Amino acid sequence: GAVVSQHPSWVICKSGTSVKIECRSLDFQATTMFWYRQFPKQSLMLMATSNEGSKATYEQGVEKDKFLINHASLTLSTLTVTSAHPEDSSFYICSATPARDSETQYFGPGTRLLVL
Amino acid sequence: QKEVEQNSGPLSVPEGAIASLNCTYSDRGSQSFFWYRQYSGKSPELIMSIYSNGDKEDGRFTAQLNKASQYVSLLIRDSQPSDSATYLCARAGNTPLVFGKGTRLSVIA
């Protein structure tokens, strides 16, 4: 149990376009989902926390208008990188917390974004 | 002071040896701790959690928690080259998990 999927697993886009990444909890309902970003050889950076049906809470320094998060159901959260630029190229990873265990985070496989 | 501290490594151990990974934390109110493994280019995967002082064993892995000294460790017995990865320590609290920067483990065949 506790499987989290992400789609797509990798994406290449042109500068200025928007990219949507989906995160799904496959076998549990996720009260909370998290979005992280990780640059090569660096540690995980939490971008935002989202709860189903409410606005996401963004970490300091993360532009909420650039990284749009929607958590429309207990099994799906999306991250949209708007007007992507090369500096947004990174590994984006989501995680989800089951309702039955509010502390444990299960990670999705990640989405590698390359902006040309 | 960082909330969760880990030695970045690399920690190199020979195959078959015990690898010992350590983590200290600053928030005395922390109750729950987690160890994740992250292979290069992949996302973290949960190895185990620990909530009480003492040891918790799961296969070749043993987590140890000492709340008085504010450290948590992960022992990997009979280390295998496939254990080579970055190990992340995390603590839970009233906020999302706080991760350490991870320790890179290299098991030499």
Distance of CA A15 to the CA centre of its chain: 20
In this prediction, residue B94 carries a pLDDT of 65
One-letter amino acid at A98 equals P
Facing B34 at nearest CB: one of A91, A93, A104: A104
Q: Which residues of A touch B88 (CB under 8 A)?
A: 43-44
Select from A111, A91, A112, A88 the least CA-distant residue to A39: A91
Which whole number is the average pLDDT over B3-17? 93
End-to-end CA distance of chain B: 37
Query: A59 to each of B67, B73, B96, how far by Cα in Å?
Result: 28, 28, 11
Least confident of A15-19, B30-34, B92-96: B92-96
Decide if pLDDT at A72 tops 90. no
Rounded-to-integer distance, Cα B85 and Cα B102, Å: 10
Look at A93 and B46 and tell me if their CB atoms are within 8 Å. no
B46 touches chain A (CB under 8 A): yes
Q: Does A43 sit within 8 Å of B99, measured CB to CB?
A: yes
Q: What percent of chain A has pLDDT over 90?
A: 81
CB contact under 8 Å between B44 and A44, yes or no, is: yes
pLDDT at B96 over 90: no
Q: Which has more confidence, A76 or A99?
A: A76
Mean pLDDT, all residues of chain A: 94
Contact at CB, B44 and A49, closer than 8 angstroms: no
Residue B34: which of B69, B8, B3, B73 has the closest Cα? B73
Pairwise CA distance, residues A15 & A99, whole Å:
38
| Mean pLDDT value of segment B26-55 | 93
Q: A10-45: per-residue pLDDT in tens?
A: 999 999 999 999 999 999 999 899 999 999 988 899
Burial state string for B44-77 with b = 16 or more CB within 10 A and e = fewer than 16: bebbbbbeeeeeeeeeebbbbbeeeebbbbbbbe
Which band of pLDDT confidence, cut at 50, 70 and 90, is reported for residue B1?
Answer: low
